[in-house]
Amino acid sequence: MSRTAAAHRFAILSTHPIQYHSGWFRGLAAHPDLQIHVYYCHRATPAEQASAGFGVAFDWDVPLLTGYPHSFLRNVADRPGHGGFAGFDTPEIRNIIRCGQYEAVLINGWHYKSAWQAILTCWQSDVKVMVRGDSHLHTVRSLPLRLAKSLAYPRFIPRFDACLAVGQWSREYFLHYGASPERIFLVPHTVDVDSMGEDANRLRPIRSELRQRWVLDPNATTFLFVGKFTETKRPMDFVRAVREAASQKAEVQGLMVGDGPLRNTCEDFAHTHHVPITFTGFLNQSQIVSTYVAADALVLPSAGETWGLVVNEAMSCGLTCIVSDRVGCGPDLIEAGRTGAVFQLGDVDGLAALMTGLARDPSQLAFMSTQARRKIQKHSIPAAVEGVLQSLHAITGSRTLVCNC
């Protein structure tokens, strides 16, 4: 696609390739009014993926680096990768910003050293700073950390030229720390809604075969858990809720996708208490749609989830979603009785009651499935691209690029 003469030229800085960012980057690269280049601080190894909580070593089996220009920066950190502020240290980003003739740099988060190398250089070089974040005020933090943020964050967040919020709670977060409302732009978290929906439609005729693959009762309502088996994701809440719902004579069962340190605990409990749950283990990205098609509803019981992109995936495939009140996407995606439900974190009985109610009202479940597909269209890749474009128009106008080398 040809570029317009007035195309905005900007860089994007990210820690490492993320499966949920690649479609957004391809959408940005394809827009005729945008010229982008993505700079990655690190290429994660399969072993690092395992240590991040997935429980198994792997590489993503979908293309993360095709369809947009990108480069990997040299990471000079003593211990490169995840694990702290110093794990991403890429001094060369400074010269790229000084000499790259970019109007702006879009930085994903500010929790790592490379981000501040870029932010400070932008401020010194008259390059606009756009920061995208999904943090919110509903995550439990210690008093010392809250005090530290209250002192530090109002000093730099108001200086960002554009704050790219992924939803309602992240917008409130930026406002809380002093961002001007007119400098906050919605750039929603997204997946490839159309592609996932098409894949789901293609697989739906073999839904019964998919359920047989995981030894699922064809007549029971299947609730799905997708994620790392870690304390934050609270997989045992899911297991206990399925047990409680089943004890109420509701025809329910669970399908748990993923791996991690709590998997054995969940499996042992389910086996000991005869809970109707199937564990698939880790499934890569190309396999995940089949689990959404096999299931009837998604449950995300997490504590402190900044967003919860599995909800986007599930809704793209037509699933209603039940989430805890600490899941960041709740205010944006969950409409009670239409696209899903919200329950109080840790309230296993409340979650079980929601499961039981849906299992006993198939017509309501079908209605909510249709509404979920409609709702998620507003969180598509084009919507995220449009949010970036609006922010660029607002903060740059028509500027002449000058090399500061």
3-state secondary structure of 364: helix
Cα dihedral 100, 104, 107, 111, rounded to 10, equals: 90
- Residue 160: which of 395, 384, 335 has the closest Cα? 395
Task: Describe the strand order of the beta sheet including 277-281 as a list of residue ranges.
Answer: 277-281, 252-257, 221-226, 297-300, 320-324, 340-343
Domain ranges across the chain? 8-190+380-396, 193-379
> Are 43 and 16 contacting, i.e. CB atoms less than 8 angstroms apart?
yes
- Residue 13: which of 92, 95, 109 has the closest Cα? 109
Say which CATH topology domain 193-379 has.
Rossmann fold (3.40.50)
Name the DSSP class of 4: P
Confidence of residue 5 (pLDDT cuts 50, 70, 90): low
Confidence of residue 84 (pLDDT cuts 50, 70, 90): confident
Choose between 7 and 288: higher pLDDT.
Answer: 288
CA distance 71 to 40: 6
- Residue 117: which of 88, 143, 137 has the closest Cα? 88
Q: What is the mean pLDDT of residues 186-202?
A: 95
With tokens 């879009």, the residue in question is: 106
Q: What is the mean pLDDT of residues 266-292?
A: 94
Q: What is the pLDDT of residue 404?
A: 46
Rounded to the nearest 10 degrees, the angle between the axes of helix 381-396 and helix 19-30 is 60
Confidence of residue 402 (pLDDT cuts 50, 70, 90): very low
For residue 42, the one-letter residue type is: H
Q: What is the pLDDT of residue 286?
A: 79
CA distance 234 to 219: 27
Intrachain domains 8-190+380-396 and 193-379 with the same fold = yes
- Residue 322: which of 357, 348, 297, 296 has the closest Cα? 297
For 33-67, what is each residue's pLDDT tens digit?
Answer: 999 999 999 987 766 654 555 555 545 557 899 99
For residue 146, the one-letter residue type is: R
Q: What is the pLDDT of residue 87?
A: 93
Choose between 59 and 195: higher pLDDT.
Answer: 195
Confidence of residue 68 (pLDDT cuts 50, 70, 90): very high
Distance, CA of 194 to chain centre:
17
Place domain 8-190+380-396 in its CATH homologous superfamily. Glycogen Phosphorylase B; (3.40.50.2000)
Exposed (0-12), middle (13-18) or buried (19+): which is 205, by Cβ within 10 Å? exposed
